Chain A
Amino acid sequence: QQPVQSPQAVILREGEDAVINCSSSKALYSVHWYRQKHGEAPVFLMILLKGGEQKGHDKISASFNEKKQQSSLYLTASQLSYSGTYFCGTESGSYDKVIFGPGTSLSVIP
């Protein structure tokens, strides 16, 4: 079951903050976040594991609510380089496959 992401698209001015949400109808073991720039491959940002462990990025933070089966990615003081499509991926069990959501398009303008 593909996770749901919101919003579908967002436009920010440099320096503004954004939150991207991801939710699943299934119990989750982990949530993954990737960013893809146009014409490039997805690049890893962060993994949040059940139990609170995080592996990831210095400048981006995220939360994982296991009970609600939701995760949010927080982008603060956005920079032009933050533009791209953000994908969440969900995993229902350890060593299970990651199912990616449809993506959220983020555009940062000067």
Chain B
Amino acid sequence: DAGVIQSPRHEVTEMGQEVTLRCKPISGHNSLFWYRQTMMRGLELLIYFNNNVPIDDSGMPEDRFSAKMPNASFSTLKIQPSEPRDSAVYFCASSNQGGSYEQYFGPGTRLTVT
């Protein structure tokens, strides 16, 4: 099994630009989570999907952030426009049946907004 795949692994962009992060969950998993990790705020849940439907997006910081899951094997997290305070490592994770099961994390995307 290839595990959770994220791309790109590193992204450097200028303030105001659009950023799109991509995630491919483990085949057969029906829950997908997007997290943001910073030194100051730790590991924050941004949004999670179950069977491709957003279940809880209360962690999405503001309207500049949006996430989609058009099918069971692909999800995107978009930031438009990006700001320096969005700099962080963004992790995607997947699991079977939601929160009560182990989550498998992808390698993360390190985003730097200058």
Contacts and interface: CB of A to CB of B under 8 A. Distances in A.
B106 A41 contact: yes
A67 interface: no
Interface of B: 42-45, 48, 50, 55-56, 91, 97-108
Given A42-B91, A42-B105, A44-B104, A30 B99 contact: yes
Interface residues of A, number: 25
A1 interface: no
A47 B45 contact: no
Given A41-B91, A97-B56, A29 B105 contact: no
A70 to B, nearest CB: 19
B90 to A, nearest CB: 11
Contacts of A96: 99
Given A41-B105, A95-B50, A97-B56, A47 B100 contact: yes
B105 A47 contact: no
Contacts of A81: none
Nearest to A102: B42
A43 interface: yes
Contacts of B55: 97
Interface string A81-110: 000000100010011111111110000000
B108 A41 contact: yes
